[in-house]
Amino acid sequence: MCIICVELEKNKITPLEAQRSLAEMAFDLDLEHFLEVEEKIQEIEEKNQFSLLLQEDDTVEMCTSCHCDPCDCDFGTCE
């Protein structure tokens, strides 16, 4: 493993920092490992984005009868 992989595994660098480092080392790595590192960076970015979505989740529970939020059952239908 290269230094970028080690630092990513330890969460010592962000995906953005890893991409910058990878660009600097691009000509020193073989193509196969370069692509592996790119894939690792992408996976971490996707995981981070998913975690952010979960943290920001403002899911609204709709009423099962009228399918409105807030529930409109007592006031007629929601249109």
Q: pLDDT per residue over 56-68, tens digit each?
A: 766 666 677 776 7
Contact by Cβ (8 Å): 52, 42: no
Q: What percent of the chain has pLDDT over 70?
A: 76
Mean pLDDT of all residues in 46-53? 85
Cβ–Cβ under 8 Å, residues 4 and 22: yes
Overall average pLDDT of the 17-28 stretch:
94
Q: Is the pLDDT of residue 5 over 80?
A: yes
Residue 63 sits in which domain range?
1-79
Mean pLDDT of the chain: 83
Number of structural domains the chain divides into: 1
* Residue 57 to residue 60: CA distance in whole angstroms: 9
Structure-token match 């969460």, residue found: 11
pLDDT at 53: 77
Contact assessment for residue 56 and residue 27, using Cβ atoms and an 8 Å cutoff: no
